[in-house]
Structure 1
């Protein structure tokens, strides 16, 4: 059975500008109970940052989260896929790129639009197969 990622992606997502401080971004993550944010440069998605990125790249390195910007620790380039990609294909991309979350984009006449975020779940991929 074919399952497209658009049918199971998380549609509630938060974007954050690359110049925002890590402390500010982490506050957003805590408030909305999100583990990841899409990082933008002038509203163009450029990367992804997760709670574990903040832990590894800021806290463990003893950087000041009030002075460090999200842009400094963002995982780049942005690994993404299209809304009509199957779960199996998404799982292969994520395994190859060694990521656990992947933004999902759709098409509009003026370019791609961010639709959601997929968090890898091996059970869902097994269901498709």
Structure 2
């Protein structure tokens, strides 16, 4: 299974010069834990960074930085890890585990942002697969009782 089939296509985006309070309001409004920072080129959005709610708390609030004095570009993780739509889900999980990241922007062949995959998305997927497997066991037991 590829990321193309499971990634969330609704990505919260901001520009480098947007303020941290703007990003935080956007996250709160959409009940999300991150915003992807993009640069627009030729009508396409290319991810250049990411800011999470945890970044805001640990890097700004805990250090008593005036959040109105910095932009998301100042705070964003610039060493952004990206996934491609064609990437395999299992391999993506391994990369996320190895890198210690919970959110991964997904790009197309041109490198333009098309979605995001999160730890929560992957847990939901695996839980659904486990539910299907458990249903298979129950179904097999029911058939065995019926025919034996």
TM-score (norm 2): 0.75
In structure 2, relative to structure 1, the CA distance for the partners of 1:119 and 1:76 (3 Å cut) is same
**SS of residue matched to 2:87:** coil
- Please give the alpha-carbon distance, in whole angstroms, between the structure 2 residues aligned to 1:70 and 1:33: 18
Higher RCO (CA < 8 A, seq sep 6+): 1
Runs of 5+ in structure 1 lacking a partner? none
- Please give the alpha-carbon distance, in whole angstroms, between the structure 2 residues aligned to 1:37 and 1:118: 12
CA contact (8 A) 2:47 2:105 kept: no
Which residue, 19, 22, 29 being the options, matches 1:21?
Answer: 19
- Please give the alpha-carbon distance, in whole angstroms, between the structure 2 residues aligned to 1:24 and 1:81: 26
Structure with a larger share of its residues in helix = 2
- Please give the alpha-carbon distance, in whole angstroms, between the structure 1 residues aligned to 2:83 and 2:60: 28
> 1:124 is matched with which residue?
125
Runs of 5+ in structure 2 lacking a partner? 131-148
Q: CA deviation at 1:112?
A: 2.3
> 2:137 is matched with which residue?
none
Q: Which has the larger radius of gyration?
A: 2
Structure with a larger share of its residues in strand = 1
Paired residues, number: 123
- Please give the alpha-carbon distance, in whole angstroms, between the structure 1 residues aligned to 2:101 and 2:81: 8
CA contact (8 A) 2:46 2:112 kept: no
> 1:51 is matched with which residue?
53
Matched, 1:80 2:82: yes
> 2:71 is matched with which residue?
69
Q: CA deviation at 1:34?
A: 1.9
In structure 2, relative to structure 1, the CA distance for the partners of 1:123 and 1:32 (3 Å cut) is closer
CA contact (8 A) 1:102 1:118 kept: yes
